Structure 1
Amino acid sequence: MTERATERKVAEARTAALDLAKLSDEERRTALHDVADAIEANHERILDANATDVEEAEELLEAGEYSRALVDRLELSPSKLDDIAEMVRSVAEQDDPLGKTLSARRLDDGLELYKVGVPIGVIGTVFESRPDALVQIAALSLKSGNAVILKGGSEASHSNRVLYELVVEATSDVPDGWAQLIEAREDVDTMLDMDDSIDLLMPRGSSAFVSYIQDNTSIPVLGHTEGVCHVFVDREADRSMAEDVAFDAKVQYPAVCNAVETLLVHESVADDFLPAMVDRYREAGVTLRGDAATREVVDVDPATDEDWETEYGDLELSIKVVDSLADAIDHVNAHGSKHTESIVTEDADRAGDFMRSVDAASVFHNASTRFADGYRFGLGAEVGISTGKIHARGPVGLEGLTTYKYHLEGDGQLVATYAGESAKPFLHEEFEGEWNPGRLSEE
């Protein structure tokens, strides 16, 4: 695609965003249910396109260019398509974030200030091999009233084209151009220069890729980077629970960013806990590495410094024995990616210390890291998991795709009344109320 064609698509999205923001919740909800119906009615069409992507990816896997984790994330199935359709319906039924009054303050009698939820505008997204990401991002963008530019990975190009076509066909009553698909790597560079038309960029990928986006644009960036997640088995852990949590966090679906990559074990329980845990991992085909203290207890390969900061995305795991809660916290803060961390312990005080001290978007107590997900959090879906701290953090759902503006309802008040020696004082009273245009005149 030429630079001019990309600019045209972004301009169309910009125009559509203004009209999209005015659609009612019922109109947006109906359109999303139509998308879910279209996905269910077109399994064969989607799976045929996906089979082409997977076949090409398998060839590149054999050539050593792709990882098994990438191919696993790429592949769709009838059950996955059912899940995608259910996700879209879940997004449709979320509470409407638009027009929601976030706060109401009475400045004076007859002068009321409302903080009201609104769309961000135009969102540019770049995401990895999972084709379901396209549908998730499109669904959340529509529900939140945002136009969206979609750039998927080349490895999923056939799947993405079909899914995009189905989304657009199903939303024919939505302003034209609200969703745009771009495919060339050069199109991303064009987007980076369009700070006058794109309000937010949301890249999903490696830390290096997200850093590249941040370093080459003046558009605000909400990044989704690697998940170097940990489970810490504390000295006060229930051993059976710890084994189940650590197993689920690695084995249930190892190719995703919320899977655990490093298991930390308190030295006082290592001798009792590690042998059975390692046997269970090995039975599931997990390749294991450990520090010197771990290898004194179980026979695993040595872990390197690089292992502590690696997102394997596969059936691989590193294990480290720590001498204290503080040591576990220090390791997580030094090597984690600020994604998701978990402690298994029966001691509430130690759990609290861990959860307050660890710098991550999500911190769990006695639960698998795999729960870090927009759908599981009740957000309907997610456009990504933000590991930063500005605007939105953790699974980014509808709330993360909205901002706010202030609506002031008055009755001819003048600033001069509240200035000078005879200035009238402001009330600045918080009150329960919803913004409604003309409410004061109706009263």
Structure 2
Amino acid sequence: MVSNSIKASSLVEIARKTREAARQLGALSIDERNSAIEAIVQTLEDGISDIIRSNKADCEIAKNRGISKPLYNRLKLSETKLRTTIQGVRNIKMMPDPLGVTQIHRELDDGLILKRKTCPLGVLGVIFEARPEVLIQIISLAIKSGNGVILKGGIEAIKSCQTMFALIQKALLKTSVDHNSVKLLTTREEIRELLTLENDVDLIIPRGSNDFVRYVQHNTNIPVLGHADGICHLYVDKQADLNKAVAITVDSKTQYPAACNAIETLLVHHDIAPQFLPKIAQVLKKNNVELRGDKTCQKLINITPATEEDWKTEYSDLILSIKIETSLEDAIAHINTYGSKHTDAIITENKISAAKFLNQVDAAGVFHNCSTRFSDGFRYGFGAEVGISTQKIPPRGPVGLEGLITYKYQVAGDAHIVATYSGDNAKSFQYRDI
């Protein structure tokens, strides 16, 4: 009992130190914040071999524990993957300052001025599984946006995270950024405590399995940003260019099947199915994709029967379910029934059909004639992302810097009082935008 109490107290203390450091961070100039990001880039580049070595140790331990293939793929860091992540940090440095931006500048009346200006959220609590490079992305975005961040990586990535965190802390000690603005937790028990800190943490961002994200959503009073499922669809319309359809289908499924923006269901219009299915099945099987299809598919190609459960499943692996649709409307209805509001795409040369799909599919990302794998903060030019949100209230989709700021209203006057604008002889507001 005493031991648990001590742990809770120490985590509260950590959160309060992070909040205080975050207040100082939000007050730093853009040059000071960018200098910290540059220091992180340089230190990480110098430490690439150390990070890879730690990651190999994590992968070996995970393999011996029987980690699932999708989780292992997310855990593994190649040098290319790491350098791409570091390049994303460089891109963040080049982005405009998100803080102190005047969104509204209005003279309510003579000498009574209203401004709405952007400011940091405060302290982020980020809990993630497997993907250790997330730590780099989120710390960089937090520093740029003036937010403190408390991170908790998965046990499977602990050595990778500790090595990267140590390098980042080393970099921050050379800058104006207080190293207390960034903290790393290491035990599973700390997750439960973190979720109770509504007075000190402003936003929780979970990244991991469906069950894990739902656990976080159901066990905290802190606002949660994220998504539980990544059930993405690709619909091949009757007026699709079949060569485009093949290339996009293969990329959307096989380029990185463990990603949340990889497709799990392929929908094909009935009119082109006899031409398209044999062609795409052959290519996908060459890429070691296991195919599951509805009854109509089974009449056209040799395929494992799909069940109702397949339409609801995020495989995160080289498995793809295929369904034949008789119309665009049926395809949209299927997506809106079974989709997770993440990313869905249509292949068609008909602009009217494309517009109908883009307008009626309820998802954070709706694409036309391109791979769902483009649904990514780095590819959107955000530098990196803290996660992807499927909620309708903003931010939605890949969340970069703009999703980590809020705003405040500043009003300045000269002995102005509300009584002047009330009653029978009330003065009128002028409302002049400046």
Q: TM-score, normalised by structure 2?
A: 0.96
Letter in 2 for 1:126: I
Letter in 2 for 1:334: T
Q: Does 1:128 align with 2:118?
A: no
- CA distance in structure 1 between the aligned counterparts of 2:135 and 2:306, rounded to whole angstroms: 36
Which of 41, 46, 49 pairs up with 1:41? 46
Identity of aligned residues (%): 47
1:224-243 equivalences under 5 Å are 224-243=227-246
Q: Does 1:78 align with 2:54?
A: no
- CA distance in structure 2 between the aligned counterparts of 1:85 and 1:296, rounded to whole angstroms: 49
| 2:372 matched residue in structure 1 | 369
- CA distance in structure 2 between the aligned counterparts of 1:9 and 1:323, rounded to whole angstroms: 57
1:126-275 equivalences under 5 Å are 126-172=127-173, 173=175, 174-275=177-278
Which of 28, 32, 52 pairs up with 1:27? 32
Deviation string, structure 1 residues 201-256 (Cα, Å, up to 9, x no partner): 11112333222222222111112322110000011111111111111101111111
- CA distance in structure 1 between the aligned counterparts of 2:21 and 2:393, rounded to whole angstroms: 27
Letter in 1 for 2:86: A
- CA distance in structure 2 between the aligned counterparts of 1:83 and 1:156, rounded to whole angstroms: 19
- CA distance in structure 1 between the aligned counterparts of 2:125 and 2:420, rounded to whole angstroms: 45
How far does residue 104 in structure 1 lie from its aligned partner after superposition? 1.8
- CA distance in structure 1 between the aligned counterparts of 2:62 and 2:304, rounded to whole angstroms: 30
Q: Check conservation: 2:206, 2:226, Cα contact below 8 A.
A: yes
- CA distance in structure 2 between the aligned counterparts of 1:408 and 1:197, rounded to whole angstroms: 27
| 1:329 matched residue in structure 2 | 332
Q: Does 1:52 align with 2:57?
A: yes
| 2:344 matched residue in structure 1 | 341
How far does residue 372 in structure 1 lie from its aligned partner after superposition? 0.2
Q: Check conservation: 2:291, 2:321, Cα contact below 8 A.
A: yes
- CA distance in structure 2 between the aligned counterparts of 1:356 and 1:135, rounded to whole angstroms: 35
- CA distance in structure 1 between the aligned counterparts of 2:209 and 2:75, rounded to whole angstroms: 17
Q: Which runs of 5+ in 2 are unaligned?
A: none
Deviation string, structure 1 residues 237-281 (Cα, Å, up to 9, x no partner): 111111111111011111110111110000010001110100000
Give SS of 1:21's match. Answer: helix
| 2:311 matched residue in structure 1 | 308
Deviation string, structure 1 residues 378-419 (Cα, Å, up to 9, x no partner): 111000000112231100000100000011122332222211
Q: TM-score, normalised by structure 1?
A: 0.94
Which of 367, 391, 396 pairs up with 2:394? 391
- CA distance in structure 1 between the aligned counterparts of 2:430 and 2:300, rounded to whole angstroms: 68
Equivalent residue pairs, number? 427
- CA distance in structure 1 between the aligned counterparts of 2:219 and 2:315, rounded to whole angstroms: 28
| 1:437 matched residue in structure 2 | none
- CA distance in structure 1 between the aligned counterparts of 2:106 and 2:14, rounded to whole angstroms: 40
Q: Does 1:6 align with 2:11?
A: yes
- CA distance in structure 1 between the aligned counterparts of 2:88 and 2:172, rounded to whole angstroms: 17
- CA distance in structure 2 between the aligned counterparts of 1:84 and 1:292, rounded to whole angstroms: 43
Give SS of 2:179's match. Answer: coil
Q: Check conservation: 2:214, 2:228, Cα contact below 8 A.
A: no
Q: Check conservation: 1:124, 1:191, Cα contact below 8 A.
A: yes
| 1:109 matched residue in structure 2 | 110
Q: Check conservation: 1:13, 1:147, Cα contact below 8 A.
A: yes
How far does residue 5 in structure 1 lie from its aligned partner after superposition? 2.4
Letter in 1 for 2:320: L
Letter in 2 for 1:274: L
- CA distance in structure 2 between the aligned counterparts of 1:366 and 1:229, rounded to whole angstroms: 15
Q: Check conservation: 2:130, 2:208, Cα contact below 8 A.
A: no
Deviation string, structure 1 residues 39-71 (Cα, Å, up to 9, x no partner): 11011111111111010111123xxxx211111
Q: Which runs of 5+ in 1 are unaligned?
A: 432-443
Q: Check conservation: 2:117, 2:407, Cα contact below 8 A.
A: yes
Distance 1:71 1:206, change over 3 A: closer
Q: Check conservation: 1:202, 1:224, Cα contact below 8 A.
A: no
